[in-house]
Amino acid sequence: MQTEMTNEQYHAMTDRAGTSTLKVFIDDPTMYYHYYVAKTMTQVDISDKPGVMLGDLVHQVLLDRKNISDVAVEYTEECYKKNGAINPHTASAFREEMRDAGKVVLKPHELAQIKRICESAAHSDLARILNHPEVICEEPLFWRDIMSDITCKCKPDAMIVEDDAVHCYDLKVTSAVNPSEWSRIASRFKYWLQVAHYTNGIMHHYPNHHVDFTFYVVENRFPYRVVSYRYDEDSFNRAWDKYTATMQDLKRRMIEDDWAADWEHSVNELTIKPWELGETEDEELEGFDD
């Protein structure tokens, strides 16, 4: 384990397989090659996107135990025009000044939003976990995968290690926390891969321990609910099988220097949908009326 490391240093370690890099590999091995092997391309920086920025600030307050005033400030009066609109020139200069001080500049309602999110989390079961005397927050784990011999990394939001078990918790901040919507979010962002990869890393560090993984999802708008999720056993087993197959495929491609996606080696068939040709349902069924 290693604790003296900034987020920037951790994320810069792209030579180690992490959840984000493995997602790219699953989606497109060629792009993985250009991003992380040849390094001929650079991924778009999304750290300034509102949703990403909001989640990062909440993480800093809840996990790093920082005061909101340590990570965010409101625009000053000088940053506004007389009509109440943001003055681009002065606001940009102020944001640059605060960035150098390690702070993000927000509008009053955005700052209030972060406060409400953190207050809601502080009154939920998540607070019990984060206030546990043995909790380990955001400590990076590094290991060489036994199955593939690939060097890996992960950074659990929170862990509690017991005699025979490790409880791992991950904090998500989102606008959709109900099961039907969040299940789609989990599928879209491949959260099953995060669970499998983190479980693998924890087992390498605690080989005689059972690992369980729980998501705590905090709603970023009223009523600011905090909901927990975890994959059922069958789903985890399928995720684990896909994860181990992915690691083996990554190993093979590294050895063979083969980074082409499967669909690049074959003729891909196209199917025309009826609506593309302007056909109606009646036209599709013509001749079958009898």
Report which of 2, 1, 4, 26 is spatially closest to residue 194, judged by C-alpha positions: 26
3-class SS at 279? coil
pLDDT digits (tens, 9 = 90+) for 12-38: 898 999 999 999 999 999 999 999 999
Higher pLDDT, 287 or 162: 162
How confident is the model over 209-263, as pLDDT tens digits?
Answer: 999 999 999 999 999 999 999 999 999 999 999 999 999 999 999 999 999 988 8
- Whether residue 1 is predicted with pLDDT greater than 70 in this model: the reply is no
Q: What pLDDT does residue 288 have?
A: 42
Residue 110 has, within 13 A of its CA and on its CB side, a CA count of 15
The CA distance from 82 to 77, in Å, is: 10
**Given this model, what pLDDT does residue 43 score?**
86
Bridge partners (DSSP) listed for residue 217: 172, 227
CA 240 to CA 203: how far, in whole Å?
13
**Residue 45 clears pLDDT 90, i.e. is over it:** no
Cβ 96 vs Cβ 102: under 8 Å:
no
Which of the four pLDDT bands, split at 50, 70 and 90, describes residue 46?
confident
In DSSP terms, 169 is beta-bridged to 158, 214
Nearest Cα residue to 68 out of 37, 113, 15, 27 = 113
Tokens 């109440």: give the residue. 84
Cβ atoms within 10 A of the Cβ of 100, count? 8
* Number of neighbouring beta carbons within 10 Å of residue 104: 19
Which residues make beta-bridge pairs with 211? 166
pLDDT digits (tens, 9 = 90+) for 49-94: 888 899 999 999 999 999 999 999 999 999 999 999 999 999 999 9
Q: Helices (DSSP H) in the chain: which residue ranges?
A: 7-11, 19-27, 29-32, 50-62, 68-71, 88-100, 108-122, 125-130, 179-188, 191-205, 233-256, 281-284
Per-residue confidence (pLDDT) for residue 279, from 0 to 100: 82
- Residue with the two structure tokens 């384990």: 1
pTM assigned to the model:
0.89
Q: Is-contact 32 247, C-beta < 8 A?
A: no
The pLDDT assigned to 290 comes to: 42
- Say if CB 216 and CB 171 are below 8 A apart: yes
Q: Which amino acid is at 196?
A: A
Kindly report which listed range (19-33, 95-109, 215-229, 272-286) carries the lowest average pLDDT score: 272-286
Q: pLDDT tens, 152-193?
A: 999 999 999 999 999 999 999 999 999 999 999 999 999 999
Which pLDDT does position 281 carry in this prediction? 59
Q: Phi-psi category of 77—alpha, beta or left, where left has phi over 0 and alpha has psi -120 to 50? A: alpha
What domains can you pick out in the chain, each with its CATH number? 1-36+124-262 (3.90.320.10), 45-123 (no CATH)
